[in-house]
Chain A
Amino acid sequence: METMRAGTVDNKGKITPIAGLLEIRLYGSNQGPGGAGASCKTDVMCGVSPGIWDPTTR
């Protein structure tokens, strides 16, 4: 399951934030419409099943 968490989570679901400063900086030029972006490693659909990946099949 894909998850992004900041801090700790105890058994009761209580979240304790981290104290350190975490910076994630995304860099790169704007490719505009039709930009390729990065590709997935798992497969072209990033490991997601076609039924979920393609909105027309939902």
Chain B
Amino acid sequence: MVWVSTRWLKLRQRGTAQFVSISIVFSIGFICTVSSNGAALSSNRASIPERLAFAGDTSFSAKRIRTIPDATDTECPDPKAGNTLGPGTADSDLVVAGGTCMVNSGTYMYRNINIIKGGTLQFSDAAITLYAANIIIENHGNDACWHRR
């Protein structure tokens, strides 16, 4: 009788231990499921998946490969934009062709400036600052720092 009672207690303890273990496993599984779905969160803060995606964004990776965008060509004069030069950017090249490109007062920045046949880059009589990495006046190009009166 004593042996049966002891045996029964051991089995009951083992069962209890198994039940607790299974409960813990299911609890962890439930928490993970709720977290990944973003459900059951009553607060207004961003859900966990959003945060995980945010953290995994390559823009925050130190190994992100930085690419320099290719320079874009700006043509002046331009049939749509007219014959007045725009301010430009350090990533834009300027091609002056097929007419006169007027540079009025202001500050301008271009990477490469090519003045090619039939093109004239004409500066107004005004305060002008022009930044450029290269200025090439190709054959039959014209860089006129004056204006007609």
8 Å CB contacts to B: which residues of A8-44? Answer: 8-9, 18-28, 37-38, 40-42
Q: Which residue of A lies closest to B103 (CB)?
A: A22
Contact B138 A6 (CB under 8 A): no
Residues of B within 8 A of A7 (CB): 145-146
How far is it, in angstroms, between the C-alpha of A16 and the C-alpha of B148 when the chains are bound?
11
How far is it, in angstroms, between the C-alpha of A56 and the C-alpha of B124 when the chains are bound?
40
| Interface footprint category on A | 20 to 34
How far is it, in angstroms, between the C-alpha of A5 and the C-alpha of B144 when the chains are bound?
5
Contact B133 A26 (CB under 8 A): yes
How far is it, in angstroms, between the C-alpha of A38 and the C-alpha of B112 when the chains are bound?
7
* A interface: dominant SS: loop
- Within the complex, the shortest CB–CB distance from A15 to chain B, in Å, comes to 8
Q: Which residue of B lies closest to A21 (CB)?
A: B127
Q: How many residues of B contact A (CB 8 A)?
A: 34
Residues of A within 8 A of B127 (CB): 20-22
A18-B125 in contact given A24-B132, A28-B133, A42-B117 (Cβ < 8 Å): yes
How far is it, in angstroms, between the C-alpha of A48 and the C-alpha of B136 when the chains are bound?
13
8 Å CB contacts to A: which residues of B93-137? Answer: 95, 97, 105, 112, 114, 116-117, 123-137
Q: Which residue of A lies closest to B139 (CB)?
A: A47
Contact B105 A25 (CB under 8 A): no
Contact B138 A5 (CB under 8 A): no
Q: Which residue of A lies closest to B131 (CB)?
A: A25
How far is it, in angstroms, between the C-alpha of A1 and the C-alpha of B134 when the chains are bound?
20
- CB within 8 Å of A: which residues of B? 95, 97, 105, 112, 114, 116-117, 123-149
